[in-house]
Amino acid sequence: MHDVEGHTICYLRDILVTRVHRDPELTAFLACWSYEEHWHGEALARVLDAHGEASGQSRLANMRQHLPKADSLRPAIFSAISAVTRHLPAVHMAWGAVNEFSTQTGYARLIEKAKHPVLTELLRRIMRQEGRHIDFYASEAGRRLGASRSARQLTRYALRHFWGPVGSGVMPEPEIRFLATYLFGDEQGRSAAKRVDRQIDRLPGLQGLHLLDTAIGDALAHGVRAVPPVATRREDIAAAS
């Protein structure tokens, strides 16, 4: 999650090339959102550092050097889509709501799994800010989806065909599957995933997608395999650079 929180500014890059940048209310929120997400990553970096893991700028730089080549095309793709439909902000808001719902729930599951008093306090503080993000995303998504059938259709199609768990496209697929099965693979985790899906069901036009539960099921179907080694420790990243 350190890596995903630290990558927020790159997600913001993709959003601001669309017509979202014309809406002062959305851009005001996104400025606060990206600032808080950055510091979530910095706080989690302290946890990694305490355990001898690489963190902060060196780790993020290494991660970004290994992004798929298609990542550089994302601004052009989003800009092109925005040019042909005025409903892309609705997709962004709904997508953000889904990601924030699942992220907050993932932090709650990590608290239950780790049972560490210091980590618990840190994650609860992060979760409070994630809750404010959820409020905005869900409110904006509900308003925009409720006002337009076309927005509902586009958003449902985008989520059904392109959404993946938080971190997809940034982290290696085996790591995404490991995280999904570790946090959500047991009975309590599957129940938590279903609660997230019920929250998504409340958004107009998004009923019955079962996004998170389906993603967890797919991860479990692949089995929990060892995660291939990646450069995460300080000495590994130093050697790679």
Cα 156 from chain centre: 18
Work out the average pLDDT over 224-230.
48
User: Whole-prediction pTM value?
Assistant: 0.89
* Residue 227, pLDDT above cutoff 60: no
Amino acid identity, residue 215? A
Domains, the chain, ordered by start = 2-240 (1.10.620)
Please identify which residue in the block is written with the tokens 């001898």: 52
* Residue 123, pLDDT above cutoff 50: yes
Cα 23 from chain centre: 22
Q: Which residues contact 53 (CB under 8 A, 6 or more apart)?
A: 59, 232, 233, 234
* Residue 70, pLDDT above cutoff 70: yes
Amino acid identity, residue 103? T
Nearest 10 degrees: Cα torsion 176, 181, 184, 185? 160
Give the pLDDT confidence of 13-60 residue by residue, as tens digits.
Answer: 999 999 999 999 999 999 999 999 999 999 999 999 999 998 888 889
Lowest mean pLDDT among 113-117, 140-144, 232-236: 232-236
pLDDT in the model for residue 66: 86
Work out the average pLDDT over 219-233.
61
